[in-house]
Amino acid sequence: MNKERQAILLLEDGREFHGSSFGYEGETVGEVCFNTGMSGYQEILTDPSYCKQIVTMTAPHIGNYGINKEDIESDRIQVSGFIIKEESDVPSNWRADQPIGNYLKDHKIVGIRNIDTRSVTRHIRDHGAMNGIISSIDLNIESLKEKLSKVPTMVGLDLAQIVSTQSSFHWESNSTSKKYKVAAIDYGIKFNILRLLEESGCDITIFPCKTSAAEILKFNPDGIFLSNGPGDPSAVKYGIEMVKELLGIKPIFGICLGHQILSLALGAKTFKLKFGHRGINHPVQNMKTGQIEITSQNHGFAVDLNSLPRNVISTHINLNDKTSEGIRCTDVDAFSVQYHPESSPGPHDSRYLFEQFIKLMSK
């Protein structure tokens, strides 16, 4: 039996966690956060919103059902690193193509296992999200501290440019009932958003994050979709300016980073949450109906509700901390939500929002 290779997770405040190498042997840095989902690890790994982040899974066993070719949200693994308690290296699922450890090795993603993920989670919860480094090749704490000191914080980082497509392309599908022409702005878009827009009758063209308003108007879509994505929304100045120019001309629907960009374009402000919302069981209240939706979430920034201008109303509220989960503009056709109604992974409570977008375009 091969001896397990040692690995270290070091947080920027000096907290150390010692465990075993998982996935690719090497070194990686990023903002350490945690996700409370008990399943959906493959979708989490491939979600572009996790760019430059090291994800801690709070569920104790990861890899139970393996990895398959269908449950991906982008064309590659997007996380900087992965932290788990125990690896299930013999998957039990008829759809599985390979174990999770092999998947991480193939994509050269560094991870650590056999550490107390409850302790990591509580530390981040109490002290806030912070940068960290995982290494299985350098176990010298002073050396790791020096490397970690050079890593920038998430505040002020524009990461949309890293994950966005570099050129526009058409979302190909077998659907024949495409009634609405949609321009999807890619700040880090997930595949399941595109699938659900398609199922709603949309013919989708995906545009790079730096596309100008003039280019979008030349394309002349029925509606504009602003996607999810990573980083600080206030740093995506080109996106904010583009949306400002398009307000009132075409219906706009935003999700996650798209929600924040729309809010900033309307005159609101954003701020960084202490440790963010990441999981598949977050309760959100629809302010119009009073109904509670259980939602999938992944964000580290939020819209400041006190900064909403008079022509913008709050439509959804997070019941855990009363932060913004949705807005609607009263004088133009524009709305957005902070959470993920495409629910991949997660519950399907909020998929009515795609029909809401269709209704705006049908007007």
**DSSP symbols for 15-55:** -EEEEEEEEBSSEEEEEEEEE--SS-HHHHHT-GGGTTEEE
Model confidence over 201-248: pLDDT tens digits?
999 999 999 999 999 999 999 999 999 999 999 999 999 999 999 999
pLDDT at 175: 63
Is 1 part of any domain? no
Model confidence over 106-126: pLDDT tens digits?
999 999 999 999 999 999 999
CATH of the domain at 177: 3.40.50.880
Q: How confident is the model at residue 4 (pLDDT cuts 50, 70, 90)?
A: confident
pLDDT at 1: 38
Q: Which of 126, 148, 170 is the last residue of a domain?
A: 148
Task: Count other Cβ atoms within 10 Å, centred on residue 331.
Answer: 10
Domain hosting residue 44, numbered range:
6-148
pLDDT at 326: 98
Q: What percent of the chain has pLDDT over 90?
A: 96
Q: Give the CA angle between residues 277, 280, 286 to the nearest 5°.
A: 80
Residue 266 has pLDDT above 50, yes or no: yes
CB under 8 Å to 16, separation ≥6 — which residues?
Answer: 8, 9, 10, 141
CB under 8 Å to 185, separation ≥6 — which residues?
Answer: 207, 209, 211, 216, 224, 225, 226, 227, 239, 242, 258
Which has the minimum average pLDDT: 145-154, 175-184, 260-269, 336-345?
A: 175-184
Measured CA to CA, the distance from residue 62 to residue 272 in angstroms comes to 29
Enumerate the active-site residues: 256, 340, 342
CATH of the domain at 114: 3.50.30.20
Residue 334, token pair as written in the block:
């524009």
Is 350 part of any domain? yes
Residue of 62, 16, 10 lying closest to 36 (CA atoms): 62
Question: What is the mean predicted confidence (pLDDT) over 39-43?
Answer: 96
Model confidence over 137-179: pLDDT tens digits?
999 999 999 999 999 999 999 999 999 999 999 998 766 678 9
Based on the structure, what is the number of domains in the chain? 2
Is 31 part of any domain? yes
pLDDT at 176: 64
Measured CA to CA, the distance from residue 216 to residue 6 in angstroms comes to 51
